[in-house]
Structure 1
Amino acid sequence: MVYISICFISFISLFLISSSLFICSLYFLLNNFIYFIEWEVLSLNSCSILMTFLFDWMSLMFMSFVLLISSLVIYYSKEYMAEDYNINRFIMLVLMFVMSMMMLIISPNLISILLGWDGLGLVSYCLVIYFQNVKSYSAGMLTALSNRIGDVAFLLAIAWMLNYGGWNYIFYIELMKNDMEMMLIGGLIMLAAMTKSAQIPFSSWLPAAMAAPTPVSALVHSSTLVTAGVYLLIRFNILFVETWLGQFLLLISGLTMFMAGLGANFEFDLKKIIALSTLSQLGLMMSILAMGFPKLAFFHLLTHALFKALLFMCAGAVIHNMKNSQDIRTMGGFSLQMPITASCLNVANLALCGMPFLAGFYSKDLILEIVSLSYINMFSFFLYFFSTGLTVCYSLRLVYYSLTGSFNSSSLHPLNDEAWVMLSGMFGLLVMAVIGGSMLSWLLFPTPDMICLPFELKLLTLFVCLVGGFSGYLMSKVSFFFYNKSLNYYSMSTFFGSMWFMPVISTVGVIYYPLVLGMKTMKSFDQGWSEYFGGQMMFYSLKKYSLSVQTFQNNSLKIYLLSFTLWIIILLGLMIF
């Protein structure tokens, strides 16, 4: 039973490191410390290759949260992946994934960020194709190719930053706002962050990445891969305050939030619903960041990581008991069959909806109040509040399908709450999903700010949530007027349910047709006319001339006599004339 010891050792190690880093982050936060460490790897004449690390309260706190969730996910995997013969390889991949994220978090240097950035991309591809079937391979390729666009943008930003004589962006961050060249670098960084955090038009890879094992989804969608782009933009936040970059990001992230919330209401795959909710929350983080509130975006990033990891763990426990079925239409009655898992799922769902005094409430409510207080256009205001209502809508729909009613699958079912190792991992995050929001609120905002709003605006969030929840209940109730109303508007349902056709555009439009065009071009030009008039024609001509010359060089008396006779005739002819 070697794999159990590896899981347990990884869990204990990561948990202890996480606790230590959290205590350090509190010390740095209270004393306003920043440590900037440079390590000279190599020095050749006047050129020195430096490895730089930035330790401040933000990087330390984020690392502690990533390691806490990673430790609980690895402990959870001990039972979830128990039937996998290659669990050692799985744990190693997860640890490599976490190490790449650590490298990205503590790097103030674009080169060292790229190491973590590409490490995340490569290991995420390995994890998405972990189950090795056609669907996983397709999802892995879509994930890898979408993220390569961001990697190219990142490499261009690195190349452009060479003009400044160094890649430590932390030194040039004050210069960025007034310099057009740095705005271009900021635009490239924003493009890279949009691909990694799956904003429109790069959203299609995020639900596709659900082909990975559920523990990986819990890690990826809470605190690692998809949040890397948000974290990077938090570090570059000066670029987005009152600039066209910020306005563009606000529009894109608001549309992403709206599109994901709408799509989740038409989805029946349990993991994809939760994935789309992640996409919606990423849009919320990006949009409040674009408005110039990086600390608030970071606050929501941390609280979201806690309840989203718990939500995925509960989904994993359900799928594990359902013998790998993910369709919510075949579920039901979990509150009776699996009461502990159902309770955890409810808490995570309520935290996602912004239920008062759970983790999500402190960040989401504060964000919406700041939005109400800010100078913002009506369209963005509508996207914020309507998307919040959609969040409650799909959450209640999920609860209706999975927790209430009677079980809709086979009568002989193995549903139980006896997976104690998985439940232990979930309990750790359950505590954090309840107390994490208030704890972080006291730490990050020790001085309360006055938010003075009219009574109607103050109650608007609550009203939107109640209307969204009621709509979710009505829409999910299939017997509502005896049949599902969305079937009346099939074209519209298809459009909204398929993320505005983005997966089709990303695969067929962006990958398939250019590849087919490239193949036809290659056959017509490279292997066609250019071969006929180029290399192949030269080859055949030289071959023909060589054969004729070789014929003359053969030791045949007849040929020599014939050629000698011809030469004599030619010479005589010349002499006569």
Structure 2
Amino acid sequence: MDKKLDVCVISMIILFSMSLVSFLMSVYFISINYSLFIEWEMFSLNSSMVIMLIYLDWMSFFFFFIVMLISSMVIFYSKSYMSMELNLMRFIVLILLFVLSMVLLIFSLNLISILLGWDGLGLVSFCLVIYYQNVKSLNSGMLTILSNRIGDVLILMAIVWMVNYGSWNFLPYMKIMVNSNLNFMILMFIILAAMTKSAQIPFSAWLPAAMAAPTPVSALVHSSTLVTAGVYLLIRFIYLGGASTILNFLLIMSSLTMLMAGMSANFEIDLKKIIALSTLSQLGLMMSILCLGFKSLTFFHLCTHAIFKALLFMCAGMIIHNMKDNQDIRLMGGVGNFMPLVFINFNISNLALCGMPFLAGFYSKDLILEMVYFSNVNMIVFFFFFFSTGLTVSYTVRLIYLGFLKEMSNLSLFSFHDNDKIMILSMFSLLMISIMGGSMMGWLILPKLYFMYLFGINKFMVLIFIFMGFMLGMLMGWMNILLKKLFLMKIYYFMSLMWFIPAISVYGLNNVVLKMSLKLDKVMDLGWMEKVGSLGMYQAFMKFAKLNYYLQINSFKLYMFMFFTVYLLLILI
């Protein structure tokens, strides 16, 4: 077992070293304003070259640094979290394959090489979601991979459309393609593919279902790898010039996703699903702000969010361990008294998520909301952005209250402890960046300053909505009881079940297909096809065989008469 455990430490050291080198390379590339474009021809088929393209610039290096840092901490955390796992080596190999797929996606600007990483993420995520082998995990895994396959097919369609240009390297063609109908088709395919990977409406059902995976996997998936792949692809891909129609569509979908996830999280009782819905809400925020034209802000929030979301999942994993694998927040309470270090980590990462001033999330989130306030957007979009921010604070306050502050609701016999040095060390490493990383990333990532001239109450609008969200969070327990007492259970279910999106997009779709297949089975396979085809032929042959058998056995005279009749007919003809 010790040899197996050493794999975690070695992997962590290698990935952490790579993250440091990548960070230094990113700073160097920013300082000299430099980017590197490397092409490697893999093979040529009928004058069509398949080229592996690697694009090295400060953005790819910086995101590589974030992915490697979180992956190294997650693998180190897994050394303790998965210590009882017999197949730990297999788990680590799967995580490394997952990270490798993401790295392929980060450095690629060629649709062929992007597809390798994109497909790799989908396939390895399936293996990780079904890691605990039971029916629930299998259902979640199938939902995850089938949703992601839609995105894979759309990327393939974009590859086919780009054949018209003679190359799959889209960077040189982006400005040429602005006024082209082909450009619209390619952008539509890429945006729809990104919507599947980043779980925007109507593909949102798979993201909470993917919580069947082990918690270290959730920390990796929901921070910097699988769900952020779609956002990262759009940041790299979209030239925000000539695609206003499809960007407006994406803005509506992502804003609705942000609102839906915030509302559902306020009614959810599963600890991991609350954090998953929080990720969904933040993905909606990133997509929305990207549609408004702020690429740098989207990337900034992508990086800050990745750090504190990974920390949040690590804290949740430690709580679930101590709760004897129970995730129901109604059975928690008073955990902060017995696990102060986890309480500190959990609170700081949650406050960073809410946009608490001077934590990491504040620098990106406050800037995003002020830019929305300063931009030329209509009242509906404004409402989506600010109300969703209030909902973020609301479900966070509800989670902290139910999990840590209210009286103990657990079993009378319990044993909480947070003296696991490996878990605490990996969590504290991310905690430091969650506290100080926001301002540091702001200096590095944002090349030009954003000036917002807001005065009086306008400047404090974000803080007002945060405070309103805090009040709403305090009332949420009472609101749940009120909805049940007033027999408004349909509203309660509508809010808690993600606006019935899983029922519509998963069960609804499955029911239609399965009912159709059942009818086809009855009509075709067990009906006419069976009667006319194999069963009909079998019955006809059996009748002839029985007649022949009857003639041969029962009546020798009749048999001889038939024989001579046939013989005479053959002679006469």
Query: Which bracket does the TM-score occupy, shorter chain normalised?
Result: over 0.9
Measured after TM superposition, the shift of residue 456 of structure 1 is: 2.3
Once the two structures are superposed, residues 295-330 of structure 1 have per-residue CA deviations (whole angstroms, 9 ceiling, x without a partner) of: 111110000001100111111111111111111111
Could you tell me whether the CA contact under 8 Å between 1:7 and 1:91 is conserved in 2? Answer: yes
Q: What is the deviation of 1:233?
A: 0.9
Kept in 1, the 8 Å contact 2:300–2:446? The answer is no
Aligned to 1:499: 498
Which residue number in structure 2 is paired with residue 381 of structure 1? 382
State the match for 1:511 in structure 2. Answer: 510
Alpha-carbon spacing, 1:557–1:162, altered in 2? closer, same or farther (3 Å): farther
Mapping for residues 247-262 of structure 1, pairs under 5 Å: 247-262=248-263
3-state SS in 1 of match to 2:172: helix
Find the aligned partners of 2:570 and 2:41 in 1 and give their Cα distance: 82
Deviations 1:173-212, CA, capped at 9 Å, x for gaps: 1123211111111111111111110000111111111111
For 2:391, the equivalent position in structure 1 comes to 390
SS at match of 1:382: helix
Moved more, 47-56 or 542-551: 542-551
Shift in CA distance, 543/23, structure 1 to aligned 2, threshold 3 Å: farther
Q: Following TM superposition, by how much is the alpha carbon of 1:565 offset from its aligned partner in structure 2, in angstroms?
A: 5.3
Any idea what SS the aligned residue of 2:366 has?
Answer: helix
* SS of alignment partner, residue 60 of structure 2: helix
Same amino acid, percent of matched pairs? 54
* In structure 2, C-alpha distance between the alignment counterparts of 1:326 and 1:26, rounded to whole Å: 41
**Deviation string, structure 1 residues 351-391 (Cα, Å, up to 9, x no partner):** 00001111100100010011011111110100000000000
CA-to-partner distance for each residue in 1:241-288, whole Å, 9 max, x for gaps? Answer: 661111111100000000000110001111111000000000000000
| Distance in 1 of aligned mates of 2:243 and 2:171 | 20
Worse overlay, 493-502 or 509-518 = 509-518
Q: How does 1:363-442 map to 2 (within 5 A)?
A: 363-442=364-443
C-alpha distance 396-32 of structure 1, shift in aligned 2 (>3 A): same
Amino acid at match of 1:107: S
> What is the Cα-based RMSD across aligned positions, in Å?
2.5
Counterpart of 1:319?
320
Do the aligned partners of 2:296 and 2:446 also contact (CA within 8 Å) in 1?
A: no
Task: Give the letter for the 2:372 counterpart.
Answer: V
* TM-score between both structures, scaled by the size of structure 1: 0.93
The secondary structure found in structure 1 opposite 2:132 is coil
For the 8 Å contact 1:241–1:292, the answer to whether it is kept is no
> Is the contact between residue 359 and residue 438 of structure 1 (CA under 8 Å) also seen in structure 2?
yes
Q: Does 1:485 align with 2:511?
A: no
Distance 1:367 1:145 in 2: 33
Pairwise CA distance, 1:405: 2.8
Q: Deviations over 1:201-224 (max 9, x none)?
A: 111111111111110000000000
Does structure 1 conserve the Cα–Cα contact (< 8 Å) formed by 2:76 and 2:422?
yes
Residue pair 1:146, 1:205 contacting (<8 A) in 2 also: yes
Give the conservation status (yes or no) of the 8 Å contact 1:304–1:360: yes
Structure 1 residues 287, 132: CA separation in 2 closer, same or farther (over 3 Å shift)?
same
Q: Secondary structure at the match of 1:201?
A: coil
Q: Deviations over 1:504-562 (max 9, x none)?
A: 22332012331231232133124532343356546666787799999999xx9996885
User: For the Cα contact (< 8 Å) 1:176–1:239, is it kept in 2?
Assistant: no
Helix, strand or coil for the counterpart of 2:459? helix
In 2, Cα distance between equivalents of 1:240 and 1:196: 24
- TM-score normalized by the length of structure 2: 0.94
Aligned to 1:179: 180
Give 2:189's aligned amino acid.
L
The 8 Å contact of residues 51 and 110 in structure 2, kept in 1 or not, is answered as: no
1:176 & 1:87 partners in 2: Cα distance?
A: 48
The alignment partner of 2:239 has SS state of helix
Aligned position for 2:4: 3
With over 3 angstroms needed to count, the CA separation of the structure-2 counterparts of 1:547 and 1:458, relative to structure 1, is: same
Work out the CA distance in 2 between the residues paired with 1:402 and 1:569. Answer: 96
1:70 alignment counterpart = 71
* Residue identity opposite 1:373 in structure 2: F
| Equivalent position of 1:523 in the other structure | 522
Give runs of aligned pairs for residues 16-35 of structure 1, distance below 5 A: 16-35=17-36
Q: Could you tell me whether the CA contact under 8 Å between 2:55 and 2:109 is conserved in 1?
A: yes
**Aligned partners of 2:297 and 2:446 also within 8 Å:** no
Asked if 1:222 corresponds to 2:223, the answer is yes
* Unaligned residue ranges in structure 1 (runs of 5+): none
Q: Which residue of 2 aligns with 1:237?
A: 238
- Look up the SS of the partner of 1:199 in the other structure: coil
Q: Which residue of 2 aligns with 1:57?
A: 58
Question: What CA distance in whole angstroms lies between the structure 1 residues aligned with 2:319 and 2:209?
Answer: 20
Deviation at 1:37, TM superposition (A): 1.1
Q: Aligned residue for 1:285?
A: 286
Q: Is 2:144 the counterpart of 1:143?
A: yes
Q: 1:342 to 1:453 in 2, by over 3 A?
A: same
**Aligned pairs, number:** 568
Q: Tell me the secondary structure at the aligned position of residue 40 of structure 2.
A: strand
Q: Aligned pair in 2 of structure 1 residues 88, 240: CA closer, same or farther (>3 Å)?
A: farther
Distance 1:571 1:426 in 2: 100
The alpha-carbon distance between structure 1 residues 342 and 552, as it changes in their structure 2 partners (threshold 3 A), is same
Distance 1:437 1:62 in 2: 15
State the secondary structure of the residue aligned to 1:266.
Answer: coil
Instruction: Show structure 2 runs of 5+ residues with no match.
Output: none
